[in-house]
Structure 1
Amino acid sequence: MKVPDHIEVRGARIHNLKDIDVDIPLNKVVGIAGVSGSGKSSLALGTLYSEGSRRYLEALSTYTRRRMTQASRSEVDDVRYVPAALALHQRPGVPGIRSTFGTSTELLNSIRLMFSRLANHRCPNGHYLEPSINFAGMLEIRCPVCGAEVSPPSAEELAFNSTGACRECNGTGVIQEVDETTLVPDENKTIDEGAVAPWQTLMWSLMKDIARDMGVRTDVPFKELTEKERWIVFHAPAEKKHLLYYNEKSGNAGEM
């Protein structure tokens, strides 16, 4: 049987297309040109993409199709030899910090489903299990080597916006760290003299009193603080403190 070398479109009549027939080469870069309103987008998106993506999704299980955006049937008599299709819009939405090619095209949804259903999964004792129909059906699975129960990850658990996110970067691909030298640019100053730069703004001045209450000396040069005192300044956990606050500018005192 001869391998098709073109897509056959017959009777396309969506929007500006008036019952047209056209053959489009396969395995080539093809451009669709024409004046405004001639039906370029109707042919590319409303016909080719619509039919290609719809037929691909129809080949998947009902469970899988419920989790993916489905295109409606195109107004066309027949489209033959159209492959699975992806559409990249001319004006993509404003990307977020976790946006990728996979998220913008929804290709990532299919990849996550494939990895959750078709991949080799590992039992709690480190034995690898071959893919099976039980994985695809999310049924109870036990390791044939040690008998341990295996719970393969769902597609949602492989998403980097949820539990599948890297614990180091939270799914952003970037690890943010604070440069401590920018927080204390001059270690010859004491905390009372303004050694910790962010603490010089309104309300942050309270941090001096909190640090003092937690055992940090605020009247000695910052470079002379112990490692414990420096750790309290840079990394101490949030704790509720009851203290008396003195406003140096107004001379008023308050209880917080």
Structure 2
Amino acid sequence: MELFNKILIKGAREHNLKNVDLEIPRDSFVVITGLSGSGKSSLAFDTIYAEGQRRYIESLSSYARQFLNMLEKPDVDLIEGLSPAISIEQKSTAGNPRSTVGTVTEIYDYLRLLYARVGKVYCYNCGRPVDKQSSDQIIETILNEFDEKKIQVLAPVVRGRKGHYKELFQEIIRDGFLRVRVDGELKELIDDFKVDRYKTHDIEIVIDRMKVNSTSRYRIRQSVEVALNYGNGNLIINDGDQDYWYSRNFACAHCGIGFQELAPNSFSFNSPYGSCPECDGLGEKKELDVNLIIPDMEKTINQEGLAPLGKPRNIWFFNQLESIAEKFGFTYDTPFNKLTDEQWNILLHGSKEKIPFKYTYGGGRTVTYMHKFGGVLNYIKHYYDNTSSGKIREWAESYMNTKTCSTCKGGRLKKESLAVKINDLNIADVTFLSIEKCSQFFKTLKLTGREEIIAKQILKEITSRLEFLINVGLDYLTLDRRASTLSGGESQRIRLATQIGSQLSGVLYVLDEPSIGLHQSDNVKLINSLKNLRDIGNTVIVVEHDRETIESSDYIIDLGPEAGEHGGEICVRGNTE
């Protein structure tokens, strides 16, 4: 082989390698095979990868090197022809609970961008679309949608609030308006007009009534401007059958709920601008489990039935509990399964009223206090939320289970972000889909002409990355799957798909048995992915036992003849022919 077309190794003695001399073709798909312990990893990872990575790090500035771990120089006389090396081993991704398949592959970053640019905002309270329109846009919509129809232009001034609003009606009369709509009914205004102050009301001023046609543009403009002014940027058009809401604010015209302008960080569960405030963007919470706190319902308090607290003793909690038991008619010898619903609720959740408690100090002095009893659950939660002690937190967590967040339903985002949808799915709904279904969703996505122009490049990145994951046999995963729950093989194939998506060239990739656990059909896809990585100008070295992978390679290196001290020699090398 010519010098620039090969990796030249002389005198490799790392671990059990026995002075190995070897030439490996560059820009090829190379398989290193052999018995377990024969020296495959010593050659691939501890010699070739280690030296490639070490040389790359040495080429960086001293400032950059201080942030990187320098690998030791392998025991080898000479290695030439190396490229910057990337190792993709079979190991699980770090246990960061915020790391998901979507974030690791960067697909979620593109999803955030897509939803920020073409997502449709809906009110999380009433489900109506939230639009921000200029006065001119509202006027054009009225002319187009209500042509030759009779309409009423209404200005909403009160939404779901109590009061008699006598002063408001007087002000409306002074401004020259004759009619209002109260709770859906038209009313003529008189001097002493008022409504029931103890009921909630919706009140709108009737600004104008007209028939829409091409000659009514000026009148519509005047009415719209007046209605928007009185309605604080909102107006209603009623055509006799139903109401149509319009707003020049980025807010729900019906509920009056304001929304922030969309940005990518609105959909980031790692940012306070997007994360669910209840679970802090984790999608789940630790909650106390009564079955762990009271594991045996037949036991009593005296029998240490309250597992976190043990035997009753002279501490503030048990002094409170003793008074509670006396007041509500049970004792420390009452089995938990004999407690009434009221007694059970008081024991767990506490009392709303203040109750007298007796506390005996060390000197024998007894004092009575009036205090609310917080209950067993709140007692443990108080320590969990306020302690800085790792041991106390560990104690409290031993009586907790992890449950899906009841606020975001596992979506990790605040309700405003989850109310943004594309084709009826919010961003969390998309991450709940399998990668195969997610790919189908984006391939059949229907957008308007303007939205297609905006989303074209974003969709290209999303669909290509999804396709890479499918091609390495990961079509069954979901984008919200925690990276820490992936197997070593799944993590390796995800990193492989990410590298394919990065389209790097001139790189040396070293992989450790990527075919483990794959179905035959998925193995073919994996092999094709490795070949694609080679075809864009990379050297791919794979430690592998799979026969199909070996037969599909460009070059084979067989180490042996046996394992351990009886291995470390090149038995066979050459192309598959």
TM-score by length of 2: 0.24
More helix by share: 2
More strand by share: 2
Which one has the largest radius of gyration?
A: 2
- Where relative contact order (Cα < 8 A, 6+ residues apart) is larger, the structure is 2
